[in-house]
Chain A
């Protein structure tokens, strides 16, 4: 049986949707072992068990514990100890860095941003959409050990049919940060009061572009009805209409929601490159020849403020009826 190692990119916090998706995929590949960097509490263990995790390795990292190089080495060390064949992580920036370091130390094949995974004759095979969503590719590791990062919303998180009782096992991993590296300051944004999900992992994203002329009220209203996140384009950030953290695209956030709604967005390559892994694309635009309209599954040609507000009202009415 293949051992799949999933490092937890958190302390004793509740599992994030992206991690639940990774655990859901991991379970189909083999026996899931989690690597935790803090002693897991009862609640976390119960949640891991619900997702079929049979074993939790716990290791302590030296400082700076958030160094990708250091975490990657620890992951590689743990994989060797349990003879793991697959390492799976969610596709966040830091996880991708950790994946790169782990793959380097394990001399493992590295698959990034894959949407689905399978084992074929002992080799990990991952599917990925590339070139602005125009091509579907399958990439296979040629090595026995493989490391992969999974794009958000690749699967719906599903608990195991039979819950497991994870065995907690302390392990000593070998890891050291490169000489000369020091973390001077780290501030984690407090998102406890956020009513909207994080953009990078949101299942639904409503994005507004230049066509909003800086008025995002209707965009926000629809996002809130849908429980989605707000996204935008680089020129809106340059205009100062929204902060950089809302930017979708090459140098902003890469997203892969189940549903992407782009309002007043023409669909410049920069932006499209960052959202083309979306499951369903909906465009609202005055111009029916906008590139985003052409690559959408569904498009409404009209004024975005009235269309989005009407959609929000219709969805509220639908919810109220149920």
Chain B
């Protein structure tokens, strides 16, 4: 899961091209709540099918405040947490983030399903699930609107780019879910109190055996400039609002033209 800057906060970049984060403006990436819910449902299904030892581990990679994302998952019902936190990971691109998370997954021993949200609301890249699957060599069931685990088999349905697909995978596998996959449960006071006692392990890049090559980014932000605040041209509709809208489109050459 990912701890992302609050959407309504003033987000920006520092002079080093990295996202500026403050401790008080972060939040758990919203669709990651659906990922946590999926994990909890899969655990409950496994327990009902006779696997009492099933557990949910909440995993994140990020600076110190990112542990809040893990805490949120523990409050929802996850059993324990892992926070990959290391200055060596500052400025991590997709590749380094995926390698760090994949290494943390391997360090857990036997993991059957890695569940993520389909995208992070701050970047909307939506590539981490695929990078994790590639790194781990696991099949992926991504952008799933529905996922089940029955008799040791994962079945997921996704609706993407005009096609509806149903995929089957045997664990271990990577699953990414959309917000239609389920309704995340609300943390109850009892769970919130219990979450304080749950273990959260903080691990460094060295703990995970990540080498310098593993930590070398393949992309870097070269420049980041704040766009000038738009100065909207606002007109009050006095009966000619529609005509003015049409005139705006015409005057700014915004009607579709034949391009071929």
- Which residues of A approach B to under 8 Å, CB–CB? 17, 20, 66, 68-69, 72, 92-94, 96-97, 99-101, 103-105, 107-113, 125, 129-143, 156-159, 177-189, 191, 198, 200, 203-204, 226-228, 244-245, 250-251, 254, 258-259, 261, 269-270, 273-274, 280-284, 288, 293-303, 306-315, 318
Contact = CB atoms under 8 A, between A and B. Distances in A.
Interface stretch (B51-59, B60-68, B192-200, B223-231): B223-231
A135 B224 contact: yes
B234 to A, nearest CB: 5
Contact of B166 (A133, A158, A184, A198): A184
B245 A282 contact: yes
A298 B232 contact: yes
Interface string B174-210: 0000111000000000000000000000000000000
B166 A177 contact: no
B161 interface: yes
A180 B171 CA distance: 8
B51 to A, nearest CB: 19
Contacts of A250: 30-31, 119, 121, 124, 179
A129 B123 CA distance: 10
Interface core residue of B93, B218, B236, B256 (most chain A CB under 10 Å): B218
Given A104-B131, A315-B255, 14 more contacts: A20-B259, A100-B127, A104-B98, A104-B135, A109-B95, A140-B220, A181-B139, A183-B165, A189-B162, A250-B30, A297-B232, A300-B244, A311-B246, A311-B249
Contacts of A288: 234, 236
A16 B244 CA distance: 33
Contact of B260 (A108, A136, A157, A315): A157
Contacts of B162: 188-189, 191, 198
A318 B254 CA distance: 13
B257 to A, nearest CB: 8
A314 B254 contact: no
Nearest to B168: A182
B163 A318 contact: no
Contacts of B161: 92-94, 200
A307 B241 contact: yes
B24 interface: no
B246 A315 contact: yes
B211 to A, nearest CB: 14
Nearest to A137: B224
Contacts of B122: 130-131
A313 B131 CA distance: 49
Contact of A156 (B125, B216, B259): B259
> Closest 9 A-B residue pairs measured CB to CB?
A310-B242, A302-B237, A269-B7, A181-B139, A314-B246, A100-B130, A180-B170, A104-B134, A109-B218
Given A69-B134, A134-B227, A226-B256, A110 B94 contact: yes
B221 interface: yes
Q: Helix, strand, loop or mixed for chain B's interface?
A: mixed
Contacts of A93: 126, 143, 160-161
Q: Helix, strand, loop or mixed for chain A's interface?
A: mixed
A134 B226 contact: yes
Contacts of A142: 216-220
B250 A137 contact: no
B164 interface: yes
Interface residues of B, number: 86
Interface of B: 7-8, 11-13, 17, 30-31, 93-95, 98, 118-119, 121-127, 130-131, 133-135, 137-140, 142-143, 155, 159-171, 173, 178-180, 216-227, 230, 232-237, 240-250, 252, 254-256, 259-260
A272 to B, nearest CB: 8
Contacts of B159: 244-245
Given A159-B260, A318-B250, A140 B232 contact: no
Contacts of B134: 69, 72, 100-101, 104-105
A301 B12 contact: no
A280 B254 contact: yes
B175 to A, nearest CB: 12
B219 A110 contact: yes
Contacts of B94: 100, 103, 110, 112
Nearest to B246: A314
Contacts of A296: 230, 232, 234
Given A227-B256, A299-B232, A103 B95 contact: yes
Nearest to A132: B7
A297 B12 CA distance: 22
Contact of A66 (B165, B178, B247): B165
Interface core residue of B31, B127, B224, B236 (most chain A CB under 10 Å): B127
A274 to B, nearest CB: 8
Interface core residue of B11, B173, B224, B236 (most chain A CB under 10 Å): B224
A284 B222 contact: no
Contacts of B226: 134-136
Nearest to A313: B242
B218 A310 contact: no
A158 B140 CA distance: 36
A276 B235 CA distance: 22
